[in-house]
Structure 1
């Protein structure tokens, strides 16, 4: 049987990535492309502090896949200046972060998995929030409360 237990330090480091990403989300809520660039850099720094040697075997491979997507999407936010393109990258980032959190877990967080059906040109997009109240990062003030809670991750 595969050992699916995850090192607590790894969980803590991933939790830190999630917490730092909340500031990136705020930049999108404010429809602020410049702040999004800056905050994407902060999330990258938090990602760089995650010690991949703490996860082994198949779990290590899964993390490497997640990491690649997380870094690519953050890079796209960092190098962009078009807020709508940055938001598309944030949608992909959020998908990858959700997958990682589902697989590895966090420490002491209650995370709301939220969904807006109108994002990504009506294809829909998800994001992770610390609060149950909907504050939509894909539209900001234009449609701040558009969306719904899909799940709660503890």
Structure 2
């Protein structure tokens, strides 16, 4: 390959990286997905939702620590999140045993992932663990609801070498925990869950 043919290819790669996170001009379908059609039901006990709210607050602290690339704060938030997850009163959920078994399995998996979080040596490993926790926590919230709260399911298409990754937020603003200051606002809200 000579220099002349290499320059346009290199330029294209740089342009693709810069614009990879830019929202597309045709967003009608995305905007519809990001806006809830109506409030969803959260039919379980207030005790469960009070405890789940503590879980979510610890999760949002973990996300904020990763946005700031603060490994020590992330470890502290992950430990708090694990503590709240372990004390989540899933036994108060009035649901059939097979559904309850799925919920219990999800909470156990989240707790197990958080147990190894501090052992991750670098931010990349912590962010990978955070991604798994985010996906499982979203499933938990979708299955039980979160009374009186709105959860924004956000997505960065460039995370983990363009494999993409989701996270949860309590606000519509994009603050990317996978890149932090490198690409702070890279991403979009894919889904909004609003519970009454």
CA-to-aligned-CA distance 1:44-100 (integer Å, 9 cap, x gap): 111122112213512320111211221122122222231100000000000000000
Aligned residues: 151
Asked if residue 28 in structure 1 is aligned to residue 66 in structure 2, the reply is: yes
Tell me which structure has the larger Cα radius of gyration. 2
* TM-score of the superposed pair, with normalisation by structure 2: 0.73
Superposed, 1:76-115 pairs within 5 Å as 76-115=116-155
Q: Which residue of 2 aligns with 1:54?
A: 92
Tell me, what secondary structure is at the counterpart of 2:52? Answer: helix
Q: What is the RMSD computed on CA atoms of the aligned residues?
A: 1.5
Three-state SS of the structure 2 residue aligned to 1:78 is: coil
Given that residues 110 and 153 in structure 1 are in contact (C-alpha distance below 8 angstroms), is that contact kept between their aligned partners in structure 2? yes
Aligned: 1:68 with 2:95: no
Specify which of 165, 177, 196 is matched with residue 137 of structure 1.
177
Picking from 42, 53, 60, the partner of 2:80 is 42
Conservation of the 8 A alpha-carbon contact between 1:91 and 1:125: yes
> Runs in 1 of length 4+ with deviation above 6 angstroms?
none
Out of 159, 162, 169, which is 1:122 matched to? 162
Provide the rounded CA distance (Å) in 2 between the counterparts of 1:116 and 1:73. Answer: 21
Which runs of 5 or more structure 2 residues have no equivalent in the other structure? 1-41
Secondary structure at 2:84's aligned position in 1?
A: helix
